[in-house]
Every structure is written in C-alpha cells, then in structure tokens.
Structure 1
Amino acid sequence: MPNRTRNILMLVLFLDAAAMSMIIPALPHLLVDLTGSTFGEAAVLGGLLLASFALMLFLCGPLVGNLSDRYGRKPLMLMAIGANCLDFIILTLSPLFWPLFIGRILAGITGASFTVAGGFMADLTPKEERASAFGIVAGTFALGMVIGPAIGGYVAVFGIKAPFAVAALLSAINIVAIALMLPESLSKENRRPFALARANPVGAFSAVTGDPVLRRLVIAVLVFAIATQVFPVIWPYYTVEAFGFTPLMTGVSYTVLGLAMAASQGVLVKVSVAAISEVPTVRYAILCGMATLIALLFVTNGRVFLAMIPLIAVTFVVAPTIQGMMSNRMGEDRQGELMGLFASLTALSMMIGPILMSGVFQVFTDADAIVYAPAAPFALAAILMGLALYLFDVAEIRTAYPKPQKDLASEGE
C-alpha cells in the first residue's frame, strides 16, 4: 500500500506542477490583452502576481502544515489543488486584471501541493530513506515544471486562454484522483491538537529554536535557498547578455537545467546518501555549487556554459537532503509543521533572492558600470553558499547526524 500511495502521490504532484507551469508561456500575452499594456509593463504586473503568491505562501505555509498535522494530509491536498483549479478558472474567464490577484492569493494561502506532499512522504517513508524520498518529491515537481511550458506553448495555438483552461481541467482531474485513489497517510495516533500560536512563520520558527541543531539547519536552508534563486531569476537575462542566446536557446538551456535538476534530486540524493550519508552529501554538493558558480565567472563561451549544467544541477540535492535530516529529528506528529516551515522559507527566498540577484545584475551590466560583469550575481550566490556551508558544517550537526558505521562482521559473511 505505501508504494501504491507514493506512486499516486507522485502522479498528482507531477500533474499539478505541469498545470502550474503550463500557463507560463501564455501569461504575458494574457496580461497584455487584459490591460492593454506593453510587454515590459506586463512583466511588472506578472511580478506583482508572483509576489502576492509568495507572500501568502510565506504567511500561511505553517498554517497549512499545522492543519495537516491535525486533520490529515488528504483534506489539505484537496484544498491546495482546488485553490489552484479556481485560480486557473479565474485566469480563463476573467475579463479584468484585478481578479487574477484573488486566484493567486488563494493558491498561496493553501500552500501549494508540494507542501502537503512532503508530509505525505514523511508519513509513508522510514527515517533512513526520507532524504531520498524528499528528493523524489522535488524531482517530480521539477519534471512537471519542465514539461508544463512545452505543453502550454503547444496548446496556446488554439487560443491565448487555452492553456489556462487545460490547466483548470488537469486540476479538476487531479481533485477526482485524490478523492477516489489517494488514501490518507497520517494515522490518528500521530495527529496532534491544532495550535494557532505555531501556525505562522514566527511561531513555526520558534517551535524549532529550542533545538540548536534544527535552528542552525533552518537558517542554512534559508541562506542556501536565497543563493539558488540566482538561477531562475538571472538565467534568461544572463544567457542573452553574456552569450547572445536566442529565446529558443534560452528556453532549451533552461529545460535542460530542469531535467538535470529532476535527475539530480530524484536519483542522486538516494545514491549519495546511501553511499556517504547526509552530512557529506550536503557538504560536497554545496562545495560543488560554489566551485561551479566561481567557474561561471570566467566562462565566455555558450557551449561551455551549457556543458556545466550537470554540475549546477548537483547543487540541488542540498535542500531535500537537509529536509530529510530535519524530518528525522522532528516528531511524527510534527511533519506537517516542518513542511509548512519549509514552504515559508521557500517563499521568503522567492521574495529576497530576486531583489538581490536582479539588483546586482543591473549594477554590473549598466552602461556606466565601473566593471562590466553579467556573471556578478553568481559571485554573490557563491558567497551565500559559503555562508550556508559555514552554518551547516559544524561539529554539533556532524555529531547529531553521524555517518553510519558499516557492520564489519556482516561484510565478512
């Protein structure tokens, strides 16, 4: 039953990610049609919509997590997919711009499906396998986010609103699949009373501050997440500025990155943790990320840049591995709370990272820049990763998560 449930859960997550990303190619054109704005102005409006989603996710992620610890994962998953479906319906039918904020805010409040999916996987997976399980969740979501835009671009030939209608249909199918096929994973004995004081970002963080190991891991995750925002934020601009990529080439390169991320999180996490355990996996992945970012400062050829994508993807094993480490340290009745805290951290990085990275990019590519360096945001990201490594790779964490010792007697048999 756990394996069947996991397979259904991954299908639900993939379809939701594909629906969410399917609207990306058509969204700028929809905003232009609704507002009569230029594409530059539409980009600002799209940023406001994303910011409203991120803000609600930051504020309400812990609320969703705590509710799932009290009432179970399935009702919250239905609520998350349902809010996404409503968001897509509004995008499809609204003749005005401002109602789009209602959909984005509702989707942010429910926390998105990946928040609840983490709770599902924690319930279904033994502690020693949770890092790889969270890697599969992240990899599945990344794969859906890669496939979705390709589908959306194709569907858009039937009309600018067609991708939004198809996304709503996929979400509706998902709701039926969850209701009929996905069983509840949280047993009644592992449920706990709902506490409003912990159902917010401050309360969720306070709930882990009593444990110095968890506190340090939370801060390391946030710093690392801000660093990795350099890729979605800067990639489309950097590839054009540095290498003169066409929109097609930029799209292809980003798709390759997404596929490499999915493989890294879905496969490499499991292999690495099994071989060298969690702490060395995180340490070497961050070091690989720092080395790659520094190397990007000296790359002047687009083909060399493309060849480095697998090294960039290795970096993305860090978050699910630390998530697994933290999950193992939390009680079985607090897994949803942890996933909600991760949602808040992700949203906070989505608010801070773009401002930092885009600001640095503008300063170092401006016409009167003292030094022309379009890769400068990668330097900032490398510094942040170094800080995350400093926060993570300390004795108290190595002591809390020792490398498992092999049974020499059993090896000799």
Structure 2
Amino acid sequence: MTRYRLIVAGSVLVDMLGYGLIWPLLPFMVRTWSDEALVVGLFSSLYATMQLLVAPLMGGLSDRIGRRPVILLCLFGSAVAYFGLALADSLWFLAVAIAIGGAAGSSMPVAQAYIADVTTPAERARGLGLLGAAFGLGLIGGSALGGVLSQYGLAMPPLLAAAIALLNALYATIALPESLPPARRRLHPVQPPNLLAPALNALQLPAVRPLLIAVVLLNIAFAGLQSNIALFTLTQFGWGPQQNAALFVFVGVCAALTQGLLLGRIQPHLGEAGLASGGLGIMTIAFAAVKLAQLSDWMLFPLAAMVATGMGLAVPAITSLVSLRAGDSRQGAVLGGMQALVSFALVIGPLSFGLIFDTLGPDMPYLAGSALLAGAWLLTTLAVARSSLSGAHRLFHPVEDSEAQL
C-alpha cells in the first residue's frame, strides 16, 4: 500500500511540478502575441475556471468508474497540455493548452479519495500529509527547473513537464491498481455540480459571514499578485524568466517554513485570532510598500517573504476560526462553501489585477490589493471582537441568555 500511496503522491507532484515549471513563464509566453496584462489575467483565470468546473466532476466520476482511470486521464491530459504549451503558435492554441491543463490538473480530490480508500483512519492523516508535501515540493522544484531551462528557450520547460507527466502516466498505467472495488461504487450518473449553492448557503450564516468575505478579499489579492508579479518585475526592473522563477522558489520556501516551523511555535501564544490579524496585517503592509516605497529589485525578496509568511499564518487561522464557528453539524457544508468562494476569488483576482495594471499602471494593482487586505483585516478583527463581547455577555448575564433561548 505504501508504494501505491507514493504513486498517487507522484501524480500530484507531477501536476504541481508542471504548474511550477510553467506559471512563472506564462506572461513571457503570452508576450509573444500580446503585451496586455489583462490577457495574462484571462489565461490565469481560464486555468482556475477549468479547475473550478472540472474538479467536482472528476471526484464524482471517480466514485462511479473508479479512481485509477480518472488519475490516468489527468496524467495523460497534463502531458497533452504541456506539449500544447511547447508547440503553441497563437494565443488561441495557448488558451486551449491552458484549458486542458486546468482540467487535467484537477486530480487532487481524486488523489485524496484514493488515499482514503487505501489507508486506515489512523494512517489517513499521514497519507494526506504526503499529498501536501508533494504539492509543495512540486511547486518549488518546478519553479527552479523552469528558471534554469528557460535560458534555452520558453519551449524547454513545458517540454520537460510533458515528458515527466507522460512517463509518470505510463508508469501508473502499469503499477497503479484500482482502489475502489465495484461494490463500493456509486451507480447513479454524475450530476453537474451547483457551484453557487455551497457558497451562498455558507454566506447566510452570520457567525461566519465576515470571515468568509475576508477569505474572498485575501484570495483575490493573492491570486492577482501571482498572475501579475512577472509583468510587474519585467516592467519595473527588466527581470526575465530566470529572476522571476527564483522569486517564486523563494516564496515557496518561505511558505513551507512558515507552515512547517513557525505556525506551530507561535499558535499557542497568539491563538487563531492573533495569527489571522497578524498575517493579514503583514500582507497589507507588504502590498502597500510595493506602491509607496521607492523599490530596488532586491527589496522584492523581503516583501515577498512578508506576503508568504502572512499568507501562511492567516489562511490556516481563518480556516480554523470558520470551522469553530460553523458548529459540528455544519462543518463540511461551511468549509465546502468556503472552498467554492476561494475558487471564485482565483478567477476574479487575475482579471481584476490585469485590468488595473493596463489602465492605471504597473504598481496600482498592489495598492488595490493592500486595500482589499486591509478590508479583510478589519472584517476579521471585528468578527473576533464581536465574538469576544458575545462570550463575555454570556458569562456575566447567563440568566438573560437562558431566557432568550426559551
């Protein structure tokens, strides 16, 4: 079973390796035909949109026909997408390759389901942690490889990604067994998911609504930064693919260190509320500094470290706060609704930042992002303060609260 878990983790590693290889270079690929930031934003949003639409379908399909064929479909699809990126000779060709890549990169829910199939409850956390490690390692390693290979041409990184995906798909075809026996499969047809319902249902709960809106604002800003940063560094400092890939690797390492080392050490002292407010505050300052400070290119690295650290602190803390306020009977529904909202934010962020870049200037998206993050900080702080006041009221006025519940 350990070997099978490693193969599935390998499929996630390949997905993220390809993502890391390509994403820092995408703006430079697009500039072959267009120098508009909005076009780069459209392509980033296209990738996120395909994942938003396809990931639930892939999960449902794997419940019906088994995990193995869906994982293989995603791996072979990734190979096709990366070959398409290497061979693209027009924006339309590039768009088709990115759409296929987004759809094929929706294998994470299926990989998680496979791990759940082949592990006991006691082993499951370790198995899912293996997927998380593969996710982070692929992103960091892909960015590093992409930076090195891009000096030989922009086609080289996607060609390597395609070769890795194809080899992994062929190996999985031979070595990966099915994890879901026919007796446990769902027989009814896969229904198209209702993408709006989970988000709208979660937003109807007053206890979590401010935190969910904060999550949306945070992810719009971060997704806009991811899609926009290479164009910003190219415009402001003349950076090419190698320097941008180095920045992506640096951000990935900072994020891994934050979640792997820093978060566990300071959480007992600050609690979720302190981590959320502190993380959002750090990100707000970093985004504003891009616009307000007279930057040298080396200053991007400490600012990027601030963004990665703030994100690594704020996201787990806000997720925990949402989970605590959702109640035991609504955990899955509320967290599912939050994930749907994050997906929508990943579509909105690149588009909005690209439009602001083109119309108002290369540093204005970061001022807009700072405003969004300040709003997220304010909503989170007020939500925590309101909860604290409510708790104090219940402590000192238990009779009133009891009468109110009758």
| TM-score, normalised relative to structure 1 | 0.68
1:50 to partner: Cα distance: 3.5
> Contact between 1:85 and 1:172, CA under 8 Å: does it hold in 2?
yes
1:315 to partner: Cα distance: 2.0
1:308 to partner: Cα distance: 3.5
What CA distance in whole angstroms lies between the structure 2 residues aligned with 1:158 and 1:265? 34
List per-residue Cα deviations over 1:118-155 (Å, max 9, x = no partner).
5567886979x97x998875664344233324423544
Which position in structure 2 is the counterpart of 1:147? 141
What CA distance in whole angstroms lies between the structure 1 residues aligned with 2:11 and 2:72? 11
What CA distance in whole angstroms lies between the structure 2 residues aligned with 1:11 and 1:139? 10
2:347 maps to which of 345, 351, 360: 351
1:195 to partner: Cα distance: 8.2
Q: Which amino acid aligns with 1:13?
A: V
List per-residue Cα deviations over 1:353-409 (Å, max 9, x = no partner).
12333444455548xxxxx96852343243343255258646669999xxxxxxxxx
Q: Which amino acid aligns with 1:290?
A: T
- Relative distance call for 1:358 and 1:88 in structure 2 (3 A) is closer
Q: Which amino acid aligns with 1:353?
A: G
Which position in structure 2 is the counterpart of 1:282? 276
List per-residue Cα deviations over 1:315-343 (Å, max 9, x = no partner).
222335555777897999x97x9898666
Which position in structure 2 is the counterpart of 1:407? none
1:85 to partner: Cα distance: 1.9
- Relative distance call for 1:238 and 1:157 in structure 2 (3 A) is closer
Which position in structure 2 is the counterpart of 1:315? 310
In the alignment, does 2:219 pair up with 1:264? Answer: no
Which position in structure 2 is the counterpart of 1:89? 83
In the alignment, does 2:6 pair up with 1:15? Answer: no
Structure 1: give runs of 5+ residues left out of the alignment.
367-371, 401-413
What CA distance in whole angstroms lies between the structure 1 residues aligned with 2:306 and 2:248? 14
What CA distance in whole angstroms lies between the structure 2 residues aligned with 1:356 and 1:294? 17
Q: Which amino acid aligns with 1:385?
A: A
What CA distance in whole angstroms lies between the structure 2 residues aligned with 1:391 and 1:8? 45
In the alignment, does 2:366 pair up with 1:386? Answer: no
Which position in structure 2 is the counterpart of 1:306? 301
What CA distance in whole angstroms lies between the structure 2 residues aligned with 1:274 and 1:376? 33
Count of aligned pairs: 385
- Relative distance call for 1:98 and 1:307 in structure 2 (3 A) is closer
| TM-score, normalised relative to structure 2 | 0.69
Q: Which amino acid aligns with 2:371?
A: L
> Contact between 1:239 and 1:245, CA under 8 Å: does it hold in 2?
yes
Which position in structure 2 is the counterpart of 1:174? 168
Q: Which amino acid aligns with 1:389?
A: T
Map 1:188-337 to 2 at 5 A.
Answer: 199-205=193-199, 208=202, 218-239=212-233, 244=237, 246-247=239-240, 249-272=243-266, 278=272, 280-302=274-296, 303-317=298-312, 318-320=314-316, 322=318
Which position in structure 1 is the counterpart of 2:71? 77
CA RMSD of aligned residues (A): 5.0
Map 1:36-55 to 2 at 5 A.
Answer: 38=33, 40=35, 47-55=41-49
What CA distance in whole angstroms lies between the structure 1 residues aligned with 2:201 and 2:7? 32
1:182 to partner: Cα distance: 6.2
What CA distance in whole angstroms lies between the structure 2 residues aligned with 1:111 and 1:312? 25
Q: Percent identity?
A: 23
What CA distance in whole angstroms lies between the structure 1 residues aligned with 2:58 and 2:121? 23
Which position in structure 1 is the counterpart of 2:403? none
Structure 2: give runs of 5+ residues left out of the alignment.
392-406
Greater CA drift, 376-385 or 23-32:
23-32
1:225 to partner: Cα distance: 0.7
Q: Which amino acid aligns with 1:19?
A: G
Which position in structure 1 is the counterpart of 2:367? 376
> Contact between 2:19 and 2:142, CA under 8 Å: does it hold in 1?
yes
1:168 to partner: Cα distance: 1.8
- Relative distance call for 1:274 and 1:326 in structure 2 (3 A) is same
> Contact between 1:87 and 1:100, CA under 8 Å: does it hold in 2?
no
Q: Which amino acid aligns with 1:306?
A: F
- Relative distance call for 1:321 and 1:137 in structure 2 (3 A) is farther
1:240 to partner: Cα distance: 5.5
> Contact between 1:134 and 1:324, CA under 8 Å: does it hold in 2?
no
